Structure 1
Amino acid sequence: MTHNTPLSPRPHLPGVRRRVLTAAQLESHGVPAADLDAQCRPGGPWQQVLPGVILLHPGPPTSEERLHAALLYAAREPAPCVPAQPSPERPHRPAYPEAMITGLAALALHGFTSSPSLLALDRIDVLVPRDRRLRSTPAVRVVRTPAMPTPRQVTGLPVAPVPRALADAVRELADAEAVRRLLTEAVRFEYCEPAQVVRELDRAKLMSRPHVADAVDSLVAEGRAVAEHRLYEMVREFGLPDPVWNVDVRLPGGPHLGGLDAYWPEQAVALELDTRAPRQGEDALWSEYARKREHLERLGITVVHVTPTKLRDAMELQAAVVRTALMTSGDREPAAYVVVLPR
């Protein structure tokens, strides 16, 4: 066939709504390879945007079409473009098996304002199992993992959870300010907890990069600020007595016992937020927490230990724990006298 050979009529594809399909899906609709080649030649009505992935119109793809094309390219045997009705014998099949959007594109889909828009991204990151034989292209970067996370469905697309998407985005960023903005937004707007992000960064072996370590320091500080705000909200919303906030306690003329986020002196009840970051050494820090708690409880002070996740997901339950500790204080032996100082 020469370029002067007239194009065959565009095939009619009943039931096909999406304008991005794989060559295999088109073949299942009766489009033979020769016709596909003819439709995709220069000046034709279709175009191959990725190996084996066809855009069913001329001109540049939309952001949505780029995302679907990236997933079709990366998926293991994508589902038929007209899915069969699920049944007990034939359960629903994911549209894009073993593939999900990650990195900056995933963050944009999650709603991050500090991530470039999809239109501004030259490349879409896709996450696939480590054993997949798949090459990156100028339009798609293939990211491999030994264990695929459970994807979130965003606008009908499988998208990596925020902590994983952040780690994949940070891996490609050398701009310290851009990294700091992404991590800060993740915590400030409660997309995830700091510990989840740090765990993914550590798993990706990114914590040795100075600009990432610096950004994590800001992340941990931001996470503490968010957790403290939730703590104030818990006391207010559930009608708990006002404690003294952010104090140090010590024995009269004796050693420093440690800092507390909230303390009810009359009931000798202390509350401590656990905002440890995994990179700081969980065993060592937990031992420090445990030693302080044991010392305070030997003095008759009840210590309530709360994590940011518990405050976010089960605030009412945490308020009930504190209220119970306050109400039962009269049943306990009087606590030792301690000096309470602003922290």
Structure 2
Amino acid sequence: MLTAPDRPEVVRANDLEQIGVPRRTISRRCAAGGPWQLLLPGIVLLSTGAPTDEHRVRAALLHSRQDAMLTGTWALHRHGLERVPRQEKIHVLIPANRGVANAGFAHVERTHRLPRPHLRGGLPVAPVPRAVIDAARRLTNEDEIQAMMAEAVQRRFCTTDMLTRELDQAGRTGTALLRKALTPLVAGARSVAEADAYRLWQRSGLPPGQWNVSIFDAKGNYIATSDFWCDEVAFAWEIDSYRHHTSLEDHRATVARNARYAAAGIVVLQTLPSRLRTEPDQVLAELHAAFQAAQGRPQPEILLKRAA
């Protein structure tokens, strides 16, 4: 018999029977008012009170049996991503030849492409690229999909190439929204706001540029890492939100950045993220005006380096 400190809180009823607990005792203790509760068919929580997320995750894995692993949003949370929407159903992958069905809060998916799991908190979880695509396929909000993908890339949990490969392996069915969300990230955008800016620039008819590049002067002195850079006319576009200017230090950093732009002879346009959606035509007009101003002055000598 397991000692109290080693005893798991979530167990299979079959395992309890194997250590000598009669089935009728299990049923009685899981009845209303009893000291235990049934989380899923054949999966017992050895305590009363509301089950925690950890209890539910472990129950879903036990229900799904051998070689099961978490995927989707529940896996991403365990990897440490933060901009992940909550989904009540716990998404679990199992080998295609297994016959485990969905039950309660456990969504069980059979797959021929079962990845090698990572251990997070002692539990098997799908790698980040697979978990992102699995999560995104069950979402309908493009901003949520984009934010989740952007965080995974920006915080170096994976690359856009990894997401692209995983998406290609997932096939075409039900992935149109995912491909639309991934396109700006492949181009270099790293947030929902930058994705909005990417689409607006695509509408502008202006020459192409680069996203998130580090800019240096001719002597190699760092100027800034621009959200968007049009090298043809040495024009920078910054998507500056209130969130990044909530402290005096943030404000000073932005003023200093703009001073370095000015000293280097770079034309810069600052745009609030909200205006990309509420005033797109006005922002387009400002882009064209700023581009023309940059086009009309002598071009400064600038060195570029793509941000990591």
**Do the two structures share a fold, i.e. TM-score over 0.5?**
yes
Aligned counterpart, 1:215 = 181
Aligned counterpart, 1:4 = none
Give SS of 1:182's match. helix
Aligned counterpart, 2:149 = 183
Superposed, which structure 2 residues align to 1:18-29 within 5 Å?
A: 18-29=8-19
Matching residue within 118, 122, 125 for 2:91 = 125
Per the TM alignment, residue 147 of structure 1 is displaced from its structure 2 partner at its CA by 3.0
Q: Distance in 1 between matches of 2:27 and 2:14?
A: 13
**Mapped contact 1:128–1:142 kept (Cα < 8 A):** yes
Unaligned segments of structure 2, at least 5 residues: 191-209, 221-228, 233-305
Per the TM alignment, residue 107 of structure 1 is displaced from its structure 2 partner at its CA by 0.9
Aligned counterpart, 1:105 = 74
Per the TM alignment, residue 223 of structure 1 is displaced from its structure 2 partner at its CA by 7.0
Q: Distance in 2 between matches of 1:26 and 1:143?
A: 27
Per the TM alignment, residue 246 of structure 1 is displaced from its structure 2 partner at its CA by 9.4
Matching residue within 142, 146, 151 for 2:112 = 146
**Mapped contact 1:184–1:218 kept (Cα < 8 A):** no
Superposed, which structure 2 residues align to 1:165-244 within 5 Å?
A: 165-206=131-172, 209-222=175-188
Give SS of 2:84's match. coil
Per the TM alignment, residue 34 of structure 1 is displaced from its structure 2 partner at its CA by 1.1
Per the TM alignment, residue 18 of structure 1 is displaced from its structure 2 partner at its CA by 1.5
Per the TM alignment, residue 138 of structure 1 is displaced from its structure 2 partner at its CA by 2.9
The alignment of Structure 1 onto Structure 2 pairs a total of residues equal to 204
**TM-score, with structure 2 as normaliser:** 0.60
Deviations 1:146-187 (A, max 9, x none): 132111111111110001101110111111111111111111
Matching residue within 49, 55, 62 for 1:65 = 55
Amino acid at match of 1:193: T
**TM-score, with structure 1 as normaliser:** 0.54
Per the TM alignment, residue 222 of structure 1 is displaced from its structure 2 partner at its CA by 2.8
**Mapped contact 2:137–2:174 kept (Cα < 8 A):** no
Between the aligned residues of both structures, percent identity stands at 38
Give SS of 1:141's match. strand
Deviations 1:256-281 (A, max 9, x none): xxxxxxxxxxxxxxxxxxxxxxxxxx
Per the TM alignment, residue 227 of structure 1 is displaced from its structure 2 partner at its CA by 8.8
Amino acid at match of 1:147: R
Q: Distance in 1 between matches of 2:53 and 2:163?
A: 27
Q: Distance in 1 between matches of 2:19 and 2:41?
A: 19
Matching residue within 9, 14, 17 for 2:3 = 14
Q: 1:190 to 1:223 in 2, by over 3 A?
A: farther
Amino acid at match of 2:78: L
**Mapped contact 1:207–1:213 kept (Cα < 8 A):** no
**Mapped contact 2:36–2:47 kept (Cα < 8 A):** yes
Amino acid at match of 1:112: L
Q: Distance in 2 between matches of 1:140 and 1:226?
A: 40
Q: 1:194 to 1:168 in 2, by over 3 A?
A: same
Unaligned segments of structure 1, at least 5 residues: 1-11, 77-97, 237-244, 249-307, 313-343
Give SS of 2:130's match. helix
Per the TM alignment, residue 228 of structure 1 is displaced from its structure 2 partner at its CA by 5.6
Give SS of 1:153's match. strand
Aligned counterpart, 2:21 = 31
Per the TM alignment, residue 226 of structure 1 is displaced from its structure 2 partner at its CA by 8.7
**Mapped contact 2:78–2:120 kept (Cα < 8 A):** yes
Q: Distance in 2 between matches of 1:181 and 1:57?
A: 37
Per the TM alignment, residue 31 of structure 1 is displaced from its structure 2 partner at its CA by 0.5
Give SS of 2:188's match. helix
Q: 1:62 to 1:226 in 2, by over 3 A?
A: farther
Amino acid at match of 1:198: T
Deviations 1:197-251 (A, max 9, x none): 111112112576442222111220237979966x99xxx9xxxxxxxx9989xxx
Q: 1:56 to 1:146 in 2, by over 3 A?
A: same
Aligned counterpart, 2:223 = none
Amino acid at match of 1:73: H
Q: Distance in 2 between matches of 1:43 and 1:226?
A: 60
